[in-house]
Chains A and B, each alone.
Chain A
Amino acid sequence: MADWKRWRGWLRAIHRDVGYLAVGFTIIYAISGIAMNHVDDWNYNYNSKERTLVIAPVPDDATDEQAAKLVADAAGTGNADDVFRAGDEVRLEYADGTKVTAIGAEVTVQEVKSRFFFRAVTWLHAAKGKQGWKYIADAYAVLLLYLAISGLFMIKGKLGLKWRGTLLVAIGVLVPVCYLYASGGPEAHKDKPKPQVSNVSS
């Protein structure tokens, strides 16, 4: 068979290799995309916990050390790494990010743990300000385009574009088109014209 007639074989071979190359990127973009999509439901940067308890208020004349011990003992958080007092607040800080704040009789313990993986992948996903990554992400997008288009022609027959393929491609195109139609698209969410503003600061 002439080489040019083996185009489908080449397409599949390149599709396979590009697919391997895209695995890491796809995992990063898919997981971070879901995380960012649901930003109003959870904090992908940090896992925060908060609890409150009531104690006998810290006397005004207590020294910083006395105040810190009183609050830390009540909160059960051990010796604080740093103590700060202002107004009616006693704030204790710990190296692991835990913060304990006593305001009068109420003590709030806030524990924050970084979600390293999600912080890292969402940081990459939001390419803003990261010049180098912007170009790497562009290259990945080109690979994805290749995967999408080459995928159309990889298989012959009724499992290919002739029947199943066309049906599924049509569904994939119709879902966003129908959503745009049903929701009215960006124009429906555009209200009054933007006021005339200046970028000049006084």
Chain B
Amino acid sequence: MSRPDFDRYPELKKAWDRREFIKSAAAGTAFMALGGALVRIAADDLTKAARAEKRGDGRARLPPGQRTLEYLRPMGGDPSDGDVKTFKLRVHGAVKTPFELDYAGLLKLPQVTKEADVHCVTGWTMLAGVWKGVQISMLAEKAGVKGEAKHVILEAAHGFTANAPLADATKDNCLVTYRLNGKPFQLQHGAPVRGLIPDLYFWKSAKWITGVRFVKDDEPGFWEVRGYHNHADPWKEERYG
């Protein structure tokens, strides 16, 4: 559209300026959105490669609806003070001998290092993290879990809880973990110690963990009572309840 003669029609100038502004704003927004999309497409090779892989159990390495990231994303939450000196882990509930550990006590228990992928319900997956810690199954054994216990509640700072079936939470890759890829966790990722239940969506792996409670009846946790799925299997896309 050709530009009107503003000298002849000065009253048109204001409307024209507004039109130009709206056009420029729309073009700018479209440019930024396109740029964002291109960055996302370009970074997606890892996702394609992961989709082509299979896990040992025959399932696809990348659950449906996920894309890969090379790092953990901070997902918010109400952190603890992150202090190893005041850290306590209570193992209790339907157990014969409940106990409490401080950080040094946790490190004295048998340690394992596991490689595991983690899958966030928001759609990202971090592959091949190397996690170090103590198996939840080991804590269960030490506490003498009663036969009636069917679920595990991970308890965390400020009353956060996440529930998981006992069978899921006591797989050999489920840990109370304090190191990822040889480094301590940052506060935003659950320092000093967090849970790890890698085959369920990552919110089940409670950050800033304070307790592991074994229970007979299930108790939906913080996110589960807020509309997220009670079980949270990434391969079944159990995102919402």
To the question of whether A and B form a pair in one complex, the answer is yes
Residues of A within 8 A of B (CB): 36, 39-46, 48, 50, 52, 82, 84, 86-87, 89, 91, 93, 99, 101, 103, 106, 108, 110, 112, 189-192, 194-195, 197-202
Tally of A-B Cβ pairs under 8 angstroms: 105
Chain B: number of interface residues, binned into ranges: 35 or more
With a cutoff of 8 Å between Cβ atoms, the chain B residues found around residue A200 in the complex are: 217, 219
With a cutoff of 8 Å between Cβ atoms, the chain B residues found around residue A198 in the complex are: 217-219
B104 and A191 within 8 A (CB):
no
B230 and A195 within 8 A (CB):
yes
With a cutoff of 8 Å between Cβ atoms, the chain A residues found around residue B94 in the complex are: 202
Known A-B contacts A86-B103, A86-B107, A108-B183; A199 and B220 likewise in contact (beta carbons under 8 Å): yes
A52 to B186, CA, bound (A): 13
B217 and A201 within 8 A (CB):
yes
With a cutoff of 8 Å between Cβ atoms, the chain A residues found around residue B240 in the complex are: 189-191
With a cutoff of 8 Å between Cβ atoms, the chain A residues found around residue B187 in the complex are: 46, 48, 110, 112
B183 and A202 within 8 A (CB):
no
With a cutoff of 8 Å between Cβ atoms, the chain B residues found around residue A190 in the complex are: 240-241
The SS class assigned to the B binding surface is loop
With a cutoff of 8 Å between Cβ atoms, the chain A residues found around residue B122 in the complex are: 40
In order of increasing CB-CB distance, the 8 nearest A-B pairs are A202-B216, A87-B107, A43-B74, A86-B104, A198-B217, A194-B241, A197-B218, A101-B184
Residues of B within 8 A of A (CB): 73-76, 79, 82-85, 93-94, 103-104, 107-108, 120, 122, 124, 148-149, 179, 182-184, 186-188, 191, 213, 215-220, 229-231, 236-241
A99 to B186, CA, bound (A): 9
With a cutoff of 8 Å between Cβ atoms, the chain A residues found around residue B107 in the complex are: 86-87, 89
With a cutoff of 8 Å between Cβ atoms, the chain A residues found around residue B217 in the complex are: 197-202
What are 9 sample pairs from A and B whose C-beta atoms fall under 8 A apart?
Answer: A42-B74, A86-B103, A103-B183, A110-B186, A190-B240, A194-B241, A197-B217, A199-B219, A201-B217
